[in-house]
Structure 1
Amino acid sequence: MTEPMEQNSCKPRFLQLLLRKVQKGDYQPETISNKKSPSPHQSEENSLEEKLHLNHLKHLEQLFTAPKGEVLEKNPECKKLSKKQKTYPSGSLTLQELKNALTELLGTEYWNGQTELLFNKIQTAHDNIVDWSEFCSHLLLQYRKRDVVEKTKDTFFQGKPLIRHCSQNKQEPTTRILAIFSPSTTHSFVTVSKGGILSFWDNNLQLQKTYEMLSDAVEAPMGKKKIKVWTTDAVYMPNVHKIAVATTSRKIYFFEVSLGPIFEDFHLFALNYIPTSVFYWYNTESVESCSVLLWGDDHGGVSVLRFLHPNKSLYEKSLFEQTGFSGIYMQDIENHCQFLRYTYIRRLHQDSISQIQYVPEDLCITSSGNSQTSLVIMDMDQKRKAYTWKIKRGIKCFDFCKSLNLLVSGGADCCVRVWNRFVPSLPTAMLRGHSLPILGLAIQEEKGQIFSYSKDAVLKIWDMSYHSCLHTVTLKFPHSQSEDALEQGTFPFLFLQKPFPLILISYIDYMGMLRLPMPTQSETNFATPHKAPLCGTVYNAFFHQVVTGCHNSTIAVWDVETGMKQLILNNTHGEEELTCMALDNSGRRLITAARNGTIKVWDIQRGHILHKLEVVEDAEVTGLVPIRKHIFLTVGWNRKIILYDCSKLENVYVPADKTWKGGQLHKEDILAVDYCPPLDLLATASFDGEIIVWNVETQRPHHFVRKVSRESSLGPVNKLLFLQHRCTDQSLQKAAILISAETGNLHWWSLFGKRMEYGKFYAPLKEDISVTGLSATKNNQLLVTGDSSGFIQVWDISDYGTTLSSSSNPLLLRSWKAHSCTVVSVEHFSYGSDSFIISGSSDGTSGLWTAEGTFVGLFGQEKKWSLRVPATYSSHRNAFQGMPVLDSKLEDTTIEKDRYLWWGYIYCL
């Protein structure tokens, strides 16, 4: 018998690739007679595309390519597949014909639902037929995506740790490890010992050279005497190729390390207090702009030294030429005002500062061992609110991820805490496992991991989303002293992300290096959550998909049944921030909008751009609403309602219709919008609290739900939601059919009859929390809310707002912690006979939950799930439920045992 690949050697290239793809491995053909229906607990083949094998494709090819009405006599298995006379041209099949064919081939009707979904994905001309080339092209793309998505088992480190003895330290511990980069060579490292010895190493930790700082001379009765000076911290200044070293003598030395021998360029002396932690920042995109050197001191103060022209000089060199002295007296620093600007912030902490960090928003983060001012995030100009963390025994170290607004901290209590930057009162998670104080922390955003290092040389890797420990390494450093006498350096931990990830650790006078694997393509693009906060999530009921969009202008399409990524679109609006998106009524087109007012329409199955819409103003678009077939409207910061007609597919550029008859009535930015198709009503709400309901047909105001005068202003309206089922029920139309979310309050409005407020209640569990997501079931029996603290709540609203006496809160059925940051969107949907909830968050993740609150999984996680098989859900790992609502009587700083409030019950571990 001729080999399959020989038979198909003359076939198109895409078909050859497809057959080669499905033919890989030792394949045992399955016959129709012995094929059984899949077990409900089988989850290895969750999609129809994965179920099809080589013999299935051979039979399907014969059916697709058979002339109209012809019966295939050569293959008995295909007789039944082609007995039915085709009603369409040869080479194509209808949906029913494809269902019949796959039912015969697979021996079961179990896959009929996915066959219809597959058919809808493939057909492009909307002519209700698919041909063989379209079918094969789709399968080939799916197999390629599957190869990318399937990940191998994680390898945490490449090879064994590399250990080096720093004998030149003279048995003194290493204060700090620095990484130095040069365009002409690979990176190198510098260790700064407590005794002031700078050691230079190559990327294989081979010692290259050393430099010893001179001891200070002081006046004594018998003349000048040299005293030993200890280093407290050091930092590398890449844009000027210098190393700044802080010492206990209240001095900071600046060493030139660019070319040739190392030498001291200048130093600052007579500082107010002893510097204990140093940090340097410069603009990598504009090296000529101002750079900042910060240091915290042993009195809890922060010094800020701005270098105004670092590319020219850090100081006034002419003054040094006159005196021949290379020191800058801090009291005379104003003499260098052309190049330097110095400010001091007093008593930010009640203890010495253990770590300091600068954030480009002109924010300063500092930590200390004091329980009352453990960590402070403050504006450098002290004009904005400062956030203060209070942790028993204080905070020794921390790391901050700006894109996720995520903060991790560690200290003497051996616990790693994960925080939302704006919520200092309650940690998102508490990661326990270390036995001794934590000395170093780092966030690896690309892989969603946290590294923590403790005093006993134990390194742990934590999963940022799961809040679980992935791996533990105990480094074995040789030492001659007893363990009780060991002295660690102040900053023994360095995590380096680029050009390739690695970890450097110092332990007394030893140093170790652990190389991490480079993030793979699958990890970068297909198997991790978004790398920026989400702007929203949308469920596509037609294709059973979830669409997520994030602020870095990336859109991803996920299979809701398995959680696998099916499509990713990067840079959809260039460098502009994605602000909102919506599906058209057919579910085939996705509309996206950005902060600069640009709007685009996409073929969501193939990732092709169909239309680019006219930009009315350079203003953020906050809402997109499809109202007719191919017609939709937009609202936003321009305070206008704009219409677009995309019915002509040949028109790539679509003009804006700015002739909304009702005109521009909102006086502030429009923040929320919702549409009610049964009544053809549109509701818009603005920043000043005004709510207007429009008749879409006449484009005139139906009435003002709440009108705001110039003298008065209410809080902004975050969300609007029409209760669509009540709108179609004549007996309920006079009840509350519109909900508005204003901060944490939900207002219930009646639009007919007396047209008044039918109810109001505060939804979040805590004060000063905003409701940021609203969704209701189709029968309007349940309401789902998401808020800025990361919680999702489900309410029974079957009778709420139906009468004027709705004064109390509706029944809260369940509530759970879903995300570490704000929930930006929630959506309730039905899949088969079951109900689910999709949530998206500014922490960059999108989760799937059952209506009862059981966690199904995160879109992008490695493990697939099957919505038909609850055993595949991730509920056992308590994804974001590791830190449920704490008992209000307890403070996170004084918890002696784990007591949690879980859906209204006290649960003690």
Structure 2
Amino acid sequence: MDKKKVPETSFMDSRSEYADTENTAKMFTAKYIPEIAKLFHKAGENKGGRLNIEEFCEVMKDINGALDENVLTALHMMVDTNCKNTISLGELMDFQLKTNQLSESLNFKDKLFPQGMKIIPSNHHRAIIGMVFRPFEGQTNREQDNEENVRMYQKGQYISVSSDGLLTFWTNVFEKQLTIPLSNQENTGLYSKVKKIHVNDMVYIKELRQVAICTTERELTFYHCSEDIEQFAISYSLVVETNIVSAINYCSTGTKGVFSYGDIKGFLYVFISNNIQANGLFCRQAYEKIALKKYPTVYVSSLLKNPSKDFLCVKVSIFNEECTLIRFFPSLDMFAVCGRSSKAMVLSDFPKTSGRVSPNRIFTVAGNQEAFSCVECSPMVGQLVTGGVDGLLRVWFPHKNISCEDTLKGHVRPITHILYNQNDSVFISLSEDMNVRVWSEHSWLCVQSFRAHGMEHSRISSVCYNTCNNELVLANTDIGKCLGRGTDVFKNTITSHDKPLCSALYNSTFKQVVSVCQNGVVSVWDISTGRILMQFHATPEQRVGITAMSFDEAKRRLITASDDGKVRLWNFNNATELAVLPVNVPKDVTGIVCMNNRIFISSRNSNIIFDLDIEKNYHRFLTHDYLKDIISMDASGTLLITASSNGNIVAWNADTGEDLYWCNGTMSPQIQMAARIDHRQSVAKRRGRHRIPSCKQPTDWTDMKTWVKKSPLIICLKTREENMNTATLLTFSSGYINAWSVNSKGGIIAKFRAVPEKGSTITTMSTDASESLLLTGDNTGRICLWNIKEFGFKKQEDTGPFVDIDGWHVSLCPPPLLHSWRAHQSWVVSVTCDPTCKNIITAGLDCTVQLWTREGYCIGRFGRDEWEATQACPEMTAVQEEVEIVHTAEGKTFESPPSSPAPAPSPLPSKVPDFTDLYKMIDKLYFPKGDALLADLRKMRRKLPKWIKDINDAIKVLNRSDLALEDTIYWVPGGV
């Protein structure tokens, strides 16, 4: 879609007056608890310590007069969900505590890998030993959006090799391109007698576009790799005359290439090329041509005996066991080597000459523990991190091998891999318990932990961390890919929910968007920032299925009906379950309407309307022979209107349970009088006469598509006066929107074609608060905004066009189509707006909830983007479709006013001052927390010996015998 700039004036006139309600609750109930407690008891000493809104505002303003009264009112309403009109200090504290606990777990910005792991079947019978990423030439991800710190995804190839020698090329999205058996590449080896091979390790040499593979044969083979995978072939081989190679490593320091390998006897071989791009990895004069091979070979003994100024080859004795891991750290200019027993790690100096070099340091742990199965280096802080069989991570200084600096706990099984991401300053550790943990480099705190779900069948044998794209790839016989934050591709994959949406609502009281998906996950979003405020499961069992929801009349409580048959009431601001009604309703609820403290619930597979009493639990049912099922339901005043898939629409008196009218546009354009029969039955009577419909299996995405195709859909126009000349009901069926006068003498007043294409169908409708604008969403993802202020009124001056249906005149003049745009990739399940329709909220089966201006410009996607009221969203992707022609019922066409041009961007006014950023800055400067606090303490601890030494030196220079260390300790920088 084309990108358009959002006109800033069309977003919000001012920041939401309730935007800082949660911040107020957190800050003042935590900081001023003693004062609040005293004033609470003083103000409510004659009322049991309970305060109404006015008294609560006075108490809070006595503490801080700068608090906005609207914010305090909203806070009082959040705590007083059951509309008791008073709250106690205990209720306020409980609300604040639970809100803090739940909101802290929703800080997705701190999670490097917020999405789950995708499993790719590899069809390998043996474990994948090596996995490398080869970026394409000319591709770079250095370009990034400085405001969002998003870089371009770097395309390339993944190359994997299994232990039995099957090498596979994958695209960057892990589509298999080619599998090559290495045994067929004439790579039988100098000492090999059979073609069966066993691969031990693999590395990628990016400067030469080569893959180096070591096997149980005494030969290291280097293969040429390019974007043309058909050119994959052996370039040369390194013949090892002594022992079998067990581990290899390659690292580049600019122009210098450092290749190394370790063998089963504990020797380390280092090969250095000072200009690898120009001269290659080994000296060209050392290559030999063997008659039995089509590629050149070079012997290790020859390289050791004949060094040159551009090349260096060194053999180092490490220990008397097999080398299992080799890492070269350019920042330390050292090699770290781990052995099979994991009881020691050797740190060796960078070899400067071709002679033998003795190991520099041997790291061990008291008790001869197996603490060195893997190692990685932190170049920023100059420390080593090792992982052990005991499941502990240990932090070491390279020059201090007697004891570790810190011990990091979290894993319960042996640690197999440690990886480092310099872009995000984090370490990633993987254990045999399939637990992946992300550690902060500065504080050594675990900032994220998740399991490699789907790969539990065998031990992880290979790990590739593509730090260019922050993509973690795990492998055993299958491959698991986890794309992390940082790239444009990841940003585009972020959705608001993990499953398709069921519904989205807007709460004008708290200025919040509430959405629910087929996983039953309810999310609460701040419309002024796009940030998530709360998230909880509507069903304790976390069942998958359709979840319907609605607000109560006061918009304080959320009502949900899930596929477990339970109807629940929630305080959605802190995820407190307020009540569970003792009635089981069918699955696939199609409508929830709250009137006069009663809840009406309908479902698509039943003609029963559940009439539930919230307070007294006196529940009843409504049924009608004209209703095959109930697809849509709405209410206006005491009038409850239900629509069935057979086209029949029935209007009820919600108080008495009598059916008043019924209509069917395909049968007659007029309202039909119904027999005045009370169809309401009590729960006991219903259970005695009929069996309540049984629940079917949970509805999946495909079933929901079938469901939303059904019609008619209905919506009541509640602000209009009911009479025979005024339409108070809009219905959609067969591509047309009909405007009905729901009156004994009423009928269809007007109709128009509401979808441009055959086969398209409207799936959701809503209006603004004044009901002058109609919003529709269809199965193609399109949103339409219609001006219905003058639509649906029978007037004498109407000149047509008209259509005569059985002697009933119906206007065919369509309302003006103001704007139309594609909002989702598929079905729109909800479209709603704020009271003035300046901001439109849409939800779709593509798992996203999005915020738009009324002109069709995208402000952002909830869960992916964040925005402020004073600035436009960083990414605008809406397409404005100017629909010029609207079809009528007779097939004629009439011009509709085109979309109005977008206004020029201008700064948004802010009527309500926002000091959130200032509070955060002060808090950060004077009250460091979390990682920052621990980092400061560690720095102080390291500097403390130097400060004490400087103080003692100063005392000696001054020769002040009366001045002791205790007298000077107070001015140590940073305090002690």
Structure 2-normalised TM-score?
0.45
